[in-house]
């Protein structure tokens, strides 16, 4: 069978492949299309958090950002139809913990939080030294039941944040707009040339 | 390839072929071209070339989940998903529903199946290698299994015949352990694969990096109804250009063209009818998968090409007074000596150079390392016998390089639009010895939805394979490090029989009817009008991908059958 594909998947699994999901509530300070679509999986609170996180992870500039290609809607769909129940629950727990920590920090519900505030909290957990990052990443490789109780909340919150980040990348770079207009799109190359100056090609191939 | 209605089927044929995969297609083509009226039976649905390849032109964003299978779909393909690459949205329709098609695992066996016209010839990896003299002599030399009743020279003209028809892309190397095919132009290695090639050539005199050898048309080559590869690397979905060889693109249209073929999908063959008086097989029994109707068809010759496990399963179910333990099972070897290649051991690494280089096109193959162990006195190993080949490829990473990391923001977004580091992988494919203890049996207490017994597997890789893997892991690392690759990491992951999707053996060929099931022309020793020419016939596994050898064996057997048929007719 197609082992080259297997090989590619294998290399993917060295950083871990997209896994998990989020939690509850109500919407207020929404951006973009947040109000305009109806989620199948997310609670209003989860939708609010995920939408802001996706925007923080891949913001819009002169090149479209994650919200321009409906990444939150994509994550909602993946969580509902692709993730198994245990991963869904862990996503929801992680989002709730993130929401709780928001509340402790800003003394208001996260649904009332704006992008700047959510970004401030996110930075606290992601703007780390290399050493600290490696520690977090190593811990994420552990199965749930191998994590001690005092670290469980942080572990689940990071699981949620990684899940949103991974799905944001996946949904964005495999979206039609980015795949066809921003990355190098060539559905029928018609030839193979094994060594061509990069400057003659430009961006990475989308397929 | 129309689906004939049953009422129009005459019941008597010159030949019946069971199965439409890579060997069934060849049997159909050769028998039909020899003028035999041939009924070709397939247990699954009809698949017409191009018309029935629903995902062939889809981009990631065209799929609901950008390629991932939904959990609802995954529930029905838990075993088929064990490869990690078969059951995504692009190809899940080529793999069976595990709930409808259950089997049993005394020991874990990853039985990956495709029930439809064309079988796994639609999804195969297309790697095509001849066996060498050494492979056919191995059993005799070291005493494992039984001696093959054929040698390289018996198959050589048939390799040539099938290669001309199929089109094998590759480069002649003149290696005794991996004889050259008749080649059409190779697919070139990319910059970094060439660095490995150079590094290995400088460091070693016993091994080399060569171009993959694949059943894809290249260099503007065409065949009837088939055009050259467009380098989309979507072979597993079925190719709109017919650029790679499959039964659907190649052999079945050739058989159809003769006017001698009747193709009947949805036909589950479960028994071969043996006539105790005439001492030959006279026909087969099927269950129509859609209507559950039971029908018998009759013929002078029967080709069993249902793929390794189903072929032996049919023979085991074909019980008579003369053969109480299954048709042709005088030796008791039917179901035994089950093999598969072991893999999932090797190394990965990155390359610092060629940062200003990239490639155009997505090639459907990588590089290959021909076997270099136990070829002669000098390469003899103390810990294991026989050997392994290695396959791999280099790519520049795409956005997935950022998965699992902690970067974010506008800078990340723009950085990931550029190609990333060069990454290389190398993976061993090793020979598995024919152990009598590795077997499949039928469980009559667990029936499928047609009331047929289910297969049970009891097989495992053993000491020789385990020792071979240790060496492969070490060699993979040394070759990458020695060629200037960085961040080299080895892996030796759990690998269960079946996952290589090269399952073979269980009705082995041999010289002695007391210890084997088939003779040198793939006839059941005691029932010469029944031929088994798929992977079931294999007496050893070698380390090469087996399909090309199956094709050559089938073409040879079919022409033998046609010759006998004409002789008896006159």
Instruction: For A87-139, give the DSSP string.
Output: HHHHHHHHHHHHHHHHHHHHSS-GGG--HHHHHHHHHHHHS--HHHHHHHHHH
Predicted-assembly ipTM surpassing the 0.85 threshold: yes
The SS3 assignment for B172 reads coil
Q: Tell which of A126, A129, A195, A199 to mutate to test the B interface (max B CBs under 10 Å).
A: A195
d(CA B130, CA B551): 11
Tell me the chain A residues in contact with residue B67 when contact means C-beta distances shorter than 8 Å: 174
| Mean predicted lDDT score pLDDT of chain A | 87
Query: Would you state the pLDDT for residue A35?
Result: 65
d(CA B414, CA A204): 11
Question: Taking CB atoms and an 8 Å limit, are A2 and B64 in contact across chains?
Answer: no
Q: How far is B344 from chain A (nearest CA, A)?
A: 9
pLDDT tens digits, A128-151? 999 999 999 999 999 988 999 999
CA dihedral B408, B409, B415, B421 (to 10 degrees): -10
Query: Would you state the pLDDT for residue B25?
Result: 98
pLDDT band at residue A14 using 50, 70 and 90 as cut-offs: very low
pLDDT tens digits, B365-405? 999 999 999 999 999 999 999 999 999 999 999 999 999 99
Answer whether B114's CB lies under 8 Å from B44's CB.
yes
Query: Would you state the pLDDT for residue B456?
Result: 98
Average confidence (pLDDT) per 10 residues, chain B, 570 residues: 45 96 98 98 98 98 97 97 95 98 98 98 98 98 98 98 98 98 98 98 97 97 97 97 98 98 98 97 98 97 98 98 98 98 98 98 97 98 98 97 97 98 97 98 98 98 98 98 98 98 98 98 98 98 98 98 92
Query: Would you state the pLDDT for residue B527?
Result: 98
Using alpha carbons only, give the angle B188, B177, B481 rounded to the nearest 5 degrees: 55
Of the candidates A162, A174, A183, the beta carbon closest to that of B417 is on: A183
Query: Would you state the pLDDT for residue A144?
Result: 87
Query: Would you state the pLDDT for residue B569?
Result: 83
d(CA B309, CA B497): 13
d(CA B566, CA B560): 10
pLDDT tens digits, B103-122? 999 999 999 999 999 999 99
φ, ψ at B544 (rounded to 5°): -80, 155
- For tokens 């071209």, the residue is B33
> Is pLDDT above 80 for A7?
no
For chain B, state the CA radius of gyration.
Answer: 23
d(CA B460, CA B110): 11
Any CB–CB contact under 8 A between B64 and chain A?
Answer: yes
φ, ψ at B302 (rounded to 5°): -130, 125
> Is pLDDT above 80 for A34?
no
Q: How far is A129 from chain B (nearest CA, A)?
A: 11
Q: How many helices (H) does chain A have, and how many strands (E)?
A: 8, 1
Structure tokens at A119: 């970004």
Of the candidates A1, A57, A203, the beta carbon closest to that of B408 is on: A57
> Is pLDDT above 70 for A57?
yes
For chain A, state the CA radius of gyration.
Answer: 19
Any CB–CB contact under 8 A between B236 and chain A?
Answer: yes
Query: Would you state the pLDDT for residue A12?
Result: 37
The SS3 assignment for B510 reads coil
Q: How far is A61 from chain B (nearest CA, A)?
A: 7
Question: Taking CB atoms and an 8 Å limit, are B404 and A192 in contact across chains?
Answer: no
Residues in a beta bridge with B504: B339
Flag whether the pTM goes above 0.90: yes
Any CB–CB contact under 8 A between B169 and chain A?
Answer: no
Judged by CB atoms within 8 Å, which residues 495-524 of B form the interface with A?
A: 501
Judged by CB atoms within 8 Å, which residues 317-376 of B form the interface with A?
A: 343, 348, 354-366
Question: Taking CB atoms and an 8 Å limit, are B393 and A12 in contact across chains?
Answer: no
Question: Taking CB atoms and an 8 Å limit, are A192 and B362 in contact across chains?
Answer: yes
Question: Taking CB atoms and an 8 Å limit, are B357 and A15 in contact across chains?
Answer: no
d(CA B448, CA B445): 10
HEC per residue, A153-197: HHHHHHHHHHHHHHHHHHHHHCCHHHHHHHCECCCCCCCCEEEEE
Of the candidates A7, A58, A197, the beta carbon closest to that of B427 is on: A7
Question: Taking CB atoms and an 8 Å limit, are B357 and A205 in contact across chains?
Answer: no
pLDDT tens digits, B280-293? 999 999 999 999 99
* Extended beta strands in B87-211, E state: 104-105, 168-169, 183-184, 210-211
Judged by CB atoms within 8 Å, which residues 383-422 of B form the interface with A?
A: 391-393, 395-406, 408-410, 412-414, 416-420
The SS3 assignment for B490 reads strand
pLDDT band at residue A33 using 50, 70 and 90 as cut-offs: low
Query: Would you state the pLDDT for residue A36?
Result: 83
């Amino acid at each position: 069978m197609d082992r080259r594909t297997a090989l590619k998947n294998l290399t993917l699994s060295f950083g871990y492949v997209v896994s998990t999901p989020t939690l509850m509530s109500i919407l207020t300070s929404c951006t973009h299309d947040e109000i305009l679509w109806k989620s199948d999986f997310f609670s209003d609170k989860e939708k609010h958090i995920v939408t802001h996180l996706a925007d923080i992870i891949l913001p819009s500039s002169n090149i479209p950002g994650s919200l321009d290609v409906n990444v939150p809607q994509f994550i909602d769909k993946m969580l509902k139809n692709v993730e198994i129940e245990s991963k869904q629950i862990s996503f929801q727990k992680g989002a709730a913990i993130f929401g709780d920590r928001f509340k402790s920090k800003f003394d208001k519900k996260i649904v009332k939080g704006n992008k700047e505030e959510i970004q401030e909290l996110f930075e606290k957990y992601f703007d780390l030294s290399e050493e600290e990052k490696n520690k977090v990443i190593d811990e994420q490789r552990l199965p749930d039941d191998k994590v001690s109780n005092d670290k469980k909340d942080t572990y689940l919150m990071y699981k949620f944040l990684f899940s949103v980040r991974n799905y944001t990348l996946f949904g964005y770079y495999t979206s039609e707009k980015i795949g066809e207009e921003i990355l190098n799109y060539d559905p029928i190359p018609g030839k193979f040339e094994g060594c061509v100056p990069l400057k003659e090609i430009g961006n990475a191939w989308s397929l | 390839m129309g689906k004939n209605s049953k009422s129009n089927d005459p019941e008597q044929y010159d030949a019946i072929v069971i199965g439409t995969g890579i060997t069934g297609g060849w049997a159909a083509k050769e028998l039909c071209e020899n003028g035999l009226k041939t009924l070709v039976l397939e247990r699954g649905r009809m698949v017409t070339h191009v018309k029935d390849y629903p995902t062939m032109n889809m981009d990631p964003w065209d799929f609901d989940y950008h390629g991932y299978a939904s959990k609802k779909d995954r529930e029905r393909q838990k075993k088929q998903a064990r490869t990690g690459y078969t059951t995504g949205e692009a190809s899940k329709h080529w793999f069976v529903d595990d709930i409808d098609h259950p089997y049993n695992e005394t020991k874990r066996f990853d039985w990956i199946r495709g029930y439809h016209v064309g079988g796994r010839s639609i999804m195969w990896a297309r790697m095509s290698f001849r066996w060498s003299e050494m492979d056919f002599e191995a059993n005799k030399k070291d005493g494992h299994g039984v001696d093959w009743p054929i040698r390289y020279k018996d198959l050589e003209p048939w390799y040539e015949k099938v290669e001309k028809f199929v089109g094998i892309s590759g480069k002649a190397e003149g290696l005794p352990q991996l004889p050259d095919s008749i080649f059409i132009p190779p697919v070139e290695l990319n910059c970094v694969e060439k660095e490995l090639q150079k590094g290995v050539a400088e460091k070693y005199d016993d091994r080399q990096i060569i171009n993959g050898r694949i059943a894809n048309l290249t260099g503007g080559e065409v065949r009837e109804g088939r055009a050259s590869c467009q380098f989309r690397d979507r072979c597993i979905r079925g190719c709109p250009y017919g650029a790679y060889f499959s039964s659907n693109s190649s052999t079945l249209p050739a058989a159809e063209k003769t006017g001698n073929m009747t193709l009947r999908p949805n036909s589950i063959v479960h028994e071969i009818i043996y006539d105790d008086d005439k001492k030959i097989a006279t026909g087969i029994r099927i269950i129509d998968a859609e209507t559950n109707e039971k029908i018998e068809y009759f013929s002078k010759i029967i080709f069993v090409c249902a793929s390794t496990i189903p072929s032996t399963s049919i023979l085991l179910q074909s019980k008579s007074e003369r053969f109480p333990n299954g048709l042709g099972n005088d030796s008791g070897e039917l179901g035994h000596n089950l093999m598969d290649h072991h893999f999932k051991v090797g190394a990965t690494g990155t390359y610092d150079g060629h940062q200003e280089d990239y490639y155009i096109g997505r090639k459907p193959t990588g590089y290959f390392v021909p076997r270099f162990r136990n070829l002669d006195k000098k390469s003899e190993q103390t810990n294991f016998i026989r050997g392994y080949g290695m396959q791999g490829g280099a790519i520049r990473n795409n956005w997935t390089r950022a998965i699992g990391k902690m970067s974010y923001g506008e800078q990340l977004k723009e950085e990931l639009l550029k190609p990333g580091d060069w990454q290389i992988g190398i993976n061993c494919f090793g020979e598995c010895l024919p152990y009598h203890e590795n077997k499949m049996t039928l469980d009559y207490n667990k029936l499928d939805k047609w009331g047929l017994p289910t297969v049970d597997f009891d097989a495992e890789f053993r000491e020789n394979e385990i020792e071979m893997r240790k060496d492969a892991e070490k060699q993979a690392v040394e070759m990458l490090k020695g060629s200037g690759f960085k961040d080299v990491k080895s892996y030796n992951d759990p690998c269960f029989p079946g996952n290589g999707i090269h399952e073979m053996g269980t009705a082995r060929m041999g010289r002695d009817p007391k210890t084997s099931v088939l003779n040198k022309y793939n006839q059941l020793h005691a029932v010469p009008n029944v031929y088994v020419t798929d992977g079931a016939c294999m007496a050893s596994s070698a380390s090469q991908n087996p399909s090309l050898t199956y094709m050559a064996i089938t073409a040879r057997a079919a022409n033998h059958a046609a010759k006998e048929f004409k002789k008896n007719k006159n």
